[in-house]
Amino acid sequence: MGDTMNELRMYVEHLFEGKVMTAELIELKEEIYGNLMARYEDLVASGIDAAQALEEAKQSISSVDELLSGDGSQEADSSNQSGATSADEDMKGPSAPVLPQPETVTTKASTTVKAHKKLLLVLAGVLLVVMIGIPLIGVAMGAILFDNVTDGDISVNHDGTSLSVGKQGVQIQDNDDAIVVSPDGTVRIDGDPADDLLNMVVEAEPPNAYMGTSISDSSTLSALVSSLPLGEWSTQVDTSQERGILTLRYGSVLDAYDSEFIDAALVYDATAIFACMPEVQQIQMSLSESDETANVDRYDFSRAMLEEQYSQKLNGDVLNYDTWKALKTEHLYQGGFVEGILDAADRD
């Protein structure tokens, strides 16, 4: 079921690729996703096999272009015309036949925008190739790659590799621990394939079911902690310290996974908890290896520090699909983000 949700999510994302997302479109996207899931489930319930059902669901809507134009009263596309809408045509009286209206073509605007976007992408691609080509040739000829330039005149960030062109030349920076999700859904961290834990973080939907959980509501709190990546290894959830502090212990997790995967999950979990629990100001996490308490990693996350890193408040407002996804792609996945936070939070 998770796979299907993922596939349908990606399909809907694809439908809206390149569109300027207004609040209205964000809602429409959510609505379309909900209906596609309902259709898929219905098909499967009627006996159709999962893969086939998925295909049919996708086929029920192949483009959202016709839904995008202004007031909706003059739409054109071969499969839909507004015709004589009940709302618009009221004064024609009994003598007006309800016949299909001639089609009006209003797609020119969206086609032009699309063409411009394509052109822009091609140009950006050419620029990137040229920019990478030049320093590579320089290296081949024994030339020196210029040293770190932090302010460039032009700067491109592509999938965790950043390129800046400044007064002093060209710089390519491959950021460590940057998380990259390719269009087909494969996840890599710093070039290496992700494992289950990191995939869980990437696929995790905003935990909005837990929005507004109170620190004194221990059963819901436990459920929240268990539902997050790393939840399986939770051994203790404590709120008995002074108000606003949450203490979480995880056991055996250091055995199961490499630290880079755990690091991302730690920051993700802290983010999720702050967003869901407005009363929590600080989260203390400790991770141990097997049952030994000797090797323990301890972290102290403060709400203020995390909110500063994300440049936004962590509360119920971020728990919708789009904002949550933006938190991940624009911050969590960026090289150095997770590392930076853990460095600040490290209590060892």
Task: Rule CB under 8 A: say whether 35 interacts with another protein.
Answer: yes
Contact between 183 and another protein per CB under 8 A:
no
**Least separation in angstroms between CB 143 and another protein:** 54
For the bound state, the minimum distance from the C-beta of residue 224 to another protein, rounded and expressed in Å, comes to: 13
71 binds another protein (CB under 8 A): yes
In sequence order, the 6+-apart residues with CB closer than 8 A to the CB of 153 are 165, 166, 167
Site for another protein in 263-282 (CB under 8 A): none
**Minimal CA–CA distance to 101: which of 82, 128, 118, 119?**
82
Residue 273: is it exposed, middle or buried by C-beta count within 10 angstroms (0-12/13-18/19+)?
A: buried
Residue 188 in contact with another protein, rule: CB under 8 A: no
The residue to which tokens 């219905």 are assigned = 42
DSSP bridge pairs for 169: 166
By beta-carbon proximity to another protein, the closer residue of 35 and 309 is 35
3-state secondary structure 202-234: HHCCCCHHHCCCCCCCHHHHHHHHHHCCCHHHE
56 binds another protein (CB under 8 A): no
- Using the contact rule CB under 8 A, the part of the chain among 33-41, 147-155, 175-183, 279-287 near another protein is 33-41
In angstroms, the CA 30 to CA 27 distance is 5
CA-based radius of gyration for the chain: 25
Among 3, 42, 255, 308, binds another protein (CB under 8 A): 42
User: Which window, 83-91, 139-147, 282-290, 324-332, contacts another protein (CB under 8 A)?
Assistant: 83-91
Query: What's the DSSP call for residue 167?
Result: T
Among the listed ranges 26-34, 120-128, 283-291, 300-308, the one in contact with another protein (CB under 8 A) is 26-34
Does position 214 interact with another protein (CB under 8 A)? The reply is no
CB of residue 246 to another protein, shortest distance in Å: 22
Say how far apart CA 201 and CA 228 lie, in whole Å. 8
177 near another protein, judged by CB under 8 A: no
Distance CA 133, CA 139 (A): 10
Placement of tokens 């394939």 in the chain:
193
Residue 245 engages another protein in binding (rule: CB under 8 A):
no
Closest distance of CB 62 from another protein, Å: 8
Q: Which residues are within 8 A (CB) of 71 and not within 5 positions of it... i.e. 6 or more apart?
A: none
Question: Under the criterion CB under 8 A, does residue 79 sit at the interface with another protein?
Answer: yes
Q: How far is the CB of 186 from another protein (least distance, A)?
A: 23
Q: Does 61 bind another protein (CB under 8 A)?
A: yes
For another protein, the binding residues (CB under 8 A) are 5, 27-28, 30-39, 42, 60-61, 63-64, 66-67, 71-73, 75, 77, 79-87, 90, 94-101, 205, 208-209
